[in-house]
Chains A and B, each alone.
Chain A
Amino acid sequence: MSDTQLFDDLVTNTVMSRRSFMKWSAALGGVAAVMAAGEMGAQVAQAQELPPAPDNIVWSCCTVNCGSRCPLRYHVRGGTIVRVETDNTGTDEFGMHQVRACLRGHAIRQRIYNPDRLKYPMRRVGPRGSGEYERITWEEAFDAIANKLREVVEQYGNEAVYIQYASGDAGSILTGNFVTRLMNCYGGYLNYYGTYSTAQIRAAMPYTFGSYVATNSVEDIVNTKLVVYFGANPCETRMSGGGMSYSVPTFKKQGSARVIVIDPRYSDTVTAAADEWIPIRPGTDAALCSALAYVMITENLHDIEFLNRYTLGFDREHMPEGYEDQESYQEYILGTGADATPKTPAWAAAITGIPAQRITQLAREIALAKPCFISQGWGPQRQANGEQTVRSIAMLPILTGNVGIRGGGTSQRDSSYKVAVAGLPTLENPVTTSISMFTWPDAIVRGTEMTDIVDGVRGKERLDVPIKFMWNYAGNCIINQHSDCNLTFGMLQDDTQCEMIVGIENHMTVSAKFSDILLPDVTSAERYDISPNGDASSMGYAILSSPAIEPMFECKHIYDICTEIARRLGVEEQFTEGKTLEDWVRTVVDLTRENNPDFPEFEAFRDMGVYKVTNPGNPSIALKSFREDPVANPLQTPSGLIEIFSPRLHDISQRWVLPEGDLISGLPKYAPCWEGVSDPLRATYPLQMIGHHYKSRTHSSYGNVAWLKEAAPQEVWMNPIDAEARGIAHGDLVEVFNDRGRIRLPAKVTPRIIPGVVSVPQGAWYTPDSAGVDVGGNVNTLTKYQPSPLAKGNPQHTNLVEIEKA
């Protein structure tokens, strides 16, 4: 069979079972000896025959960006992984419990042995995005990359080189960091700040609390009376059996707290861990919080002693020095300030969709719970007005004096114990300029127009050069995970702007198709690695992955790729320090042991696979020392206090240039925004659209795995009221559309979402058909590329759409 025929066979295979993989292996013959010939017949088995006994079992790890982190145990027979088990060590006693992988980890064989696997280095021959490539040798690839990199640095300087935000290998210490190290050996690169996950909350919270601090440990749920989750969804966003999905229901059961989830969707966290669901319209949390504050203040339920001692800006008597003439929070809430609008429950009811009476009751419940654990997920902040939302939610623990105490918190996301693992030494980046990770398309097409006060450029008033060279290691933000896929697709067509995109990937992803040089990476099953734990509450752990199989096809490890390029750029010695990859693994272990002598040595670590520790100390209480003594332990705000009114934000609001309608303000306020609940555009596009995390994918990772597509097919959630009005029944193929694009997918008609709102699970692979309809059903075909006011972050849950039957 020719290589082309074989590839055609592979892409038409929807299931890569052991049986069909056997056929694939046989056909590959000399191309990749993934299976000893003698094994073939023995394993062509009836389904109910026993799985083949492994020759050995190898510890590895699933490294995608889910926020959990799971060890995997590969059963290897004849050089092929024939089964995947997860952590089965110990007694599973909580605190040292098994870190059990979610469905995705169990499906990883179909990710490793996937028809989409990249097999050899390639050079683009068609237009960007066409996926038309020619096979080249590794030597040709290394030369092309090194030559272009040298040319760009010589002509434009190192600021023209960008390492794209990417998280497909987020759990790995010893992969993408080598690209950073390489560039730091060669003069540096343009930095980014923020993440697609947390841009708005990380930008906004430091203005209130001095820094971004996670709230109290999740085990503190045991010590509280009431848990109020704003858009927090641990059971779908931290799905590991070592992670929050297991911990949160466990701690709820141990304690006696009532759990309320405020979310447009009845999430699986509501199913497994809540007592009550309060559905809310997207982007309106700040209106709800303002009305909760109104009830607390007018009913005298707020903690005035706490406010007077620990905060600035609550009332006229406590305004920051030099800002005495500005509006106080109390004036904004009571309607005695500039907008003359009391933030009453009736006012908020019309915005949020929550009955006024329920708002009033909720305010009393929160204020009287003593203590009350308030925590927000990262969905509410991923909005056009997200920075205002996070600061408004933070007002609830501030008003009720719940900050810094057991059972209370700061309202940010809950924290976990971590085993500290040293990073790869990546050296210093001589370039200090940075852009928001969301604004890279602008940095390509109008880089030298981008400024600090318009575009949030940091370290310089204005970019000197546009992006001319881009690295993209294990990332899908070039198209799939960035906003407005169709817009970005068009922007990247001109390859005289960004002159080279180097993609290093496992699969032919949507972003991979935009690479000018595309290199096949090994998967996590084919390499050494170290992974620190994800969010696992009171348990910390680290995983050492060993190679279970040989690199498939012509795949190479990113370290070997970077080494070859470093050699061509004359920085090999500095880059490698004469080390092999295994040497670097040992270096990271040694560096870790310098600070933590209890951490196992390399050989012992390799044998145990996963090293676990129960938090030896007490569960953390955020800002505890500040609460105990605010003078001795001030916050990192200019005043050292909690700044309800932030002078710094007020100053920014006077200086920065914002699009009309965008708001930055000293006080946390409800800010109606473009494509929000009150945008007149709803006359055309009446439905608000959000995008939830979905069990079949981590962002876009695993999006091409048959077992997972079967388990959780792509679908748009819509309420029966909205479905009926459009003649749509459960399972109907529908099209969701706005001015930016159109996607086609089945409808899940369910009461589990508030009327007027639809949700498209994020991460599906963008697949435009010949008419431009995205039949992959990617939410980002419909999201807008408009950076948020302060963070310049991604507002991917702020969208208006309409739906019709396909």
Chain B
Amino acid sequence: MATLGFYFNAERCTGCKACQVACKDKWDLNTGVTWRRVVEYSGGNWVANSDGTYTQNVFAYYVSVACNHCENPLCVQVCPANAITKREDGIVIINQDACIGCRYCEWNCPYGAPQFDEEQGVMTKCNMCYDAVDAGESPSCVAACPQRALYFGDLDELRAEHGDLAGVAPLPDPDITQPALVVTPHRDSAPVGSNAGVLANPEEI
């Protein structure tokens, strides 16, 4: 069976967050629980010239990221309650009836995908809208993307079409968990691990 993954085109993303909010609406998420998040990465310097003008090399781009339904999901490995499983199609799902809310998965996921819902006392996470996928439809974030920057599908096909880049700064090293993610970089994308810029919206994610 094909493994499913997300495709993200950083060239197209405007950081609008329609993906984030469409997800929150479908799954009725509380504030503070955000399964798909949009990271702003920016950098560059300003140099003041003697005539009062400025020269700069500023850049900025966005990365929309949810659970990457990794080939090597650390969340599954560390869960003491065996509450997280990986489906045959690769979708990683939390069984909330089994979850004890210990948050080990959250601490171990380099993407911060599993998130604790204080109100319910259990972990929550992107499930790739498995209900829609099973019905032959798209996850809500993909269906909502105004810029057509976000797709999902057979990971092998996505890699064949768009290459096998699985991360840009400020995402973590894909070697850690082998995410089911394909990224087309922005013209200014810095490689994973780069310190060319900074994560510019920490308060939003």
Question: Residues of A at under 8 Å CB distance from B?
Answer: 14-15, 17-19, 45-51, 83-86, 88, 92, 100-104, 106-107, 109, 235-236, 239-243, 245-246, 249, 266, 268-272, 277, 279, 346, 349-350, 352-356, 695, 706-708, 710-713, 719-721, 730-731, 746, 748, 750-752, 754-755
Contacts and interface: CB of A to CB of B under 8 A. Distances in A.
Contacts of B30: 15, 17, 47
Contact of B54 (A268, A269, A272, A755): A755
A535 B135 CA distance: 33
B22 A712 contact: no
Given A47-B28, A103-B21, A751 B42 contact: yes
A99 B87 CA distance: 33
A178 to B, nearest CB: 31
Contact of A271 (B15, B146, B204): B15
B144 interface: yes
A355 B55 contact: yes
A241 B21 contact: no
Interface string B110-124: 000000010110101
29 contacts: A14-B31, A47-B29, A47-B30, A47-B117, A48-B27, A48-B127, A51-B28, A100-B143, A100-B144, A101-B144, A102-B18, A103-B18, A103-B21, A104-B21, A106-B18, A107-B21, A235-B16, A239-B14, A241-B148, A246-B147, A249-B12, A266-B42, A272-B14, A272-B147, A346-B51, A713-B203, A720-B46, A730-B202, A750-B42
Given A47-B124, A349-B51, A236 B203 contact: no
B181 interface: no
A102 B53 contact: no
Given A47-B28, A47-B29, A102-B16, A746 B203 contact: yes
Interface stretch (B56-64, B72-80, B161-169): B56-64
Contact of A51 (B21, B26, B32, B96): B26
Given A106-B22, A272-B147, A47 B33 contact: yes
B145 interface: yes
A84 B44 contact: no
Contact of B42 (A15, A88, A106, A752): A752
B19 to A, nearest CB: 8
Interface of B: 11-18, 20-22, 24-34, 42-46, 48-49, 51-56, 58, 60-62, 93-94, 96, 117, 119-120, 122, 124-125, 127, 131, 140, 143-148, 186, 200-204
A755 B48 contact: yes
A417 to B, nearest CB: 19
Given A15-B30, A101-B18, A349-B53, A106 B146 contact: no
Contact of A240 (B13, B26, B140, B146): B146
A90 to B, nearest CB: 13
Given A46-B122, A47-B33, A18 B28 contact: yes
B146 A102 contact: yes
B190 to A, nearest CB: 14
Given A46-B120, A47-B33, A100-B144, A751 B44 contact: yes
A246 B148 contact: yes
Given A46-B122, A711-B204, A106 B144 contact: yes
Q: Which of A109, A246, A350, A731 has the most CB of B within 10 A?
A: A246
Given A245-B16, A271-B14, A277-B58, A355 B49 contact: yes
Nearest to B37: A711
A114 B62 CA distance: 30
A113 B145 CA distance: 24
Contacts of B122: 46
Given A18-B28, A106-B21, A754 B117 contact: no
A279 B56 contact: yes
Contacts of A103: 16-18, 20-22
B45 A109 contact: no
Contacts of B55: 355
Given A86-B143, A271-B13, 11 more contacts: A15-B30, A47-B120, A47-B124, A83-B26, A236-B14, A355-B55, A695-B15, A706-B31, A708-B21, A730-B202, A751-B42
A755 B200 contact: no
A58 B61 CA distance: 36
